[in-house]
């Protein structure tokens, strides 16, 4: 809004989120966020860019920062917009022809997005635009695969930052794409949106994640690819179990997806169902879902997009058997996960499953200490919501009468600090 200071805009955009949550996303302290909101200090350029990105401010915070420092983006843009006499992309009031006017509008949108993308990235996109670089469908599918690989190997905050750049470029291309190209581009949009929702879930930004899941569903539906539509819904259900939704809500998502699937078995839905049922203590039903899943193991294959792999079957088995206190079966699943896992997250979480199983069998101190050791050994940037929520499952397994034991208090304090 006109007349608002940087701090007032930040406070408005933060909304009901805690100072700690916003500080964690922007890699600054909650005290720093508080000081910025109250006008006791101004951010550096990098902090302003990061806050604009994580709060999806679309350049609003950067504009406030630039206004304060008298270094507006208008001084920046003309230095990169000249491309020569053949294709003029000057940002002037002159309107030589309709095509140049369209290009100017696109460049202005890029400049306005500098708060999200960073100035260097905006320059690179201007260069792409100047040379009319459009990615082929094959290139876009490689891009989606690259981000999926990053999700499994890099800190989630880095994935969120990198992916938004390509999502922006895809949106630009889709706005002018021919009708025949759109179904495939919708497929790419669904894949990128799913990866972004997954990464935001790992970051603990559940509101933003749910919005990206919605975009992923709509994009998948627009592609008319049934396999992709089911995959996106299964991914949404599975990741909803990490503090994003209640297990009961996840079960409703699964039922909705099943109506779409008809008679087609969707393995990812079965894994999500088994885990959700175990979380609400319906262990017999969880085991039935798990055995229905295991019965398909011989014919199970990863999806053609690379999202679902067979290690998820054994991960679900580890979760369900550990929650029910079946140590031998949980250990067998643990070994299978370690043998097949392609995601750094799975080995960490199955170790937490083992800790939960130990607690279920009465070894409260041993199990809780093991969980604390697993979390403590993990670099901070990899302590995603998926890890921390699984550690909280260990705490929830502790009987009420033992919740005040020193080890339980210590783990609870560790998880609270991380939150």
Long-range contacts of 389-394 (CB under 8 A, 24+ apart): 389/241, 389/242, 389/243, 390/242, 390/349, 390/352, 390/353, 391/352, 391/415, 392/243, 393/279, 393/323, 393/352, 393/356, 394/352, 394/355, 394/356, 394/359, 394/367, 394/368
- The pLDDT tens digits along the chain (419 residues) read 567 899 999 999 998 888 887 887 787 888 889 889 998 888 888 788 889 888 888 888 988 887 776 433 333 333 333 333 333 333 333 344 444 445 545 544 544 444 444 545 556 655 665 555 688 999 999 999 999 999 888 888 889 988 988 898 899 899 888 999 999 999 999 999 999 999 999 988 999 999 999 999 999 999 999 999 999 999 999 999 999 999 999 999 999 999 999 988 788 899 999 999 999 999 999 999 999 888 876 665 555 666 767 778 899 999 999 999 999 999 999 999 888 876 678 889 999 999 999 999 999 999 999 999 999 888 888 888 999 999 999 999 999 999 999 999 999 988 885 54
> What is residue 172's predicted lDDT score, i.e. its pLDDT?
84
Within a 13 Å sphere around the CA of 283, how many CA atoms are in the beta-carbon half? 11
Q: From the centroid of its chain, how far is CA 230? A: 19
> What is residue 387's predicted lDDT score, i.e. its pLDDT?
93
According to DSSP, residue 384 is labeled: -
Listed in sequence order, the residues at least 6 apart from 256 whose beta carbon sits closer than 8 Å to its beta carbon are: 233
Domains of the chain, start order: 1-71 (1.10.260.40), 310-419 (1.25.40)
Token pair of 242 as six digits: 């990490």
- Please give the Cα distance from 68 to 28 (Å, whole number): 21
According to DSSP, residue 154 is labeled: S
**Got the DSSP string for 58-93?**
TTHHHHHHHHHHT--GGGTGGGT----SSS----SS
Cα–Cα separations (whole angstroms), residue 88 to 81, 84, 99, 104, 107: 8, 6, 10, 9, 12
Cα–Cα separations (whole angstroms), residue 351 to 30, 81, 331, 343, 408: 31, 54, 10, 14, 17
């Amino acid at each position: 809004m006109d007349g608002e200071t940087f701090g007032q805009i930040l406070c408005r955009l933060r909304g009901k989120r805690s100072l700690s949550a916003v500080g964690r996303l922007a890699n600054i302290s909650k005290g720093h966020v508080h000081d910025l909101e109250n006008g006791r200090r101004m951010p550096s350029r990098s902090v302003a860019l990061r806050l604009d990105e994580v709060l999806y401010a679309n350049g609003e915070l950067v504009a406030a920062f630039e206004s304060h420092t008298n270094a507006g983006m208008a001084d920046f843009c003309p230095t990169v917009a000249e491309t020569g006499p053949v294709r003029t992309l000057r940002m002037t009031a002159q309107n030589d022809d309709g095509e140049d006017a369209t290009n100017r509008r696109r460049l202005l949108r890029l400049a306005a997005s500098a708060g999200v993308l960073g100035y260097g990235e905006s320059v690179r996109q201007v260069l792409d635009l100047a040379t009319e670089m459009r990615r082929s469908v094959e290139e876009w599918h490689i891009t989606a695969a690259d981000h999926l690989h990053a999700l499994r190997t890099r800190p989630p905050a880095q994935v969120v930052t990198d992916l938004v750049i390509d999502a922006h470029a895809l949106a630009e291309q889709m706005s002018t794409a021919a009708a025949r190209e759109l179904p495939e581009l919708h497929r790419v949009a669904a894949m990128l949106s799913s990866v972004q929702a997954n990464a935001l879930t790992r970051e603990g930004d559940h509101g933003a994640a749910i919005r990206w899941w919605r975009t992923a569903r709509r994009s998948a539906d627009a592609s008319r690819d049934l396999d992709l539509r089911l995959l996106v819904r299964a991914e949404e259900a599975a990741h909803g179990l990490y503090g994003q939704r209640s297990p009961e809500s996840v079960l409703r998502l699964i039922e909705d997806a099943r109506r779409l699937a008809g008679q087609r078995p969707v393995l990812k839905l079965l894994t999500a169902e088994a885990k959700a049922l175990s979380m609400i203590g319906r262990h017999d039903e969880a085991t039935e879902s798990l055995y229905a899943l295991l019965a398909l193991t011989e014919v199970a294959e990863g999806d053609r997009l690379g999202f679902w792999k067979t290690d998820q079957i054994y991960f679900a088995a580890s979760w369900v058997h550990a929650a029910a206190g079946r140590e031998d079966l949980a250990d067998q699943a643990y070994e299978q996960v370690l043998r097949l896992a392609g995601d750094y997250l799975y080995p960490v979480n199955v170790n937490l499953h083992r800790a939960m199983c130990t607690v279920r069998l009465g070894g409260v101190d041993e199990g809780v200490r093991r969980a604390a050791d697993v979390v403590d050994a993990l670099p901070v940037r990899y302590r995603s919501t998926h890890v921390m929520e699984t550690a909280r499952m260990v705490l929830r397994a502790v009987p009420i009468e033992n919740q005040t034991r020193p080890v339980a208090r210590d783990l609870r304090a560790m998880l609270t600090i991380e939150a």
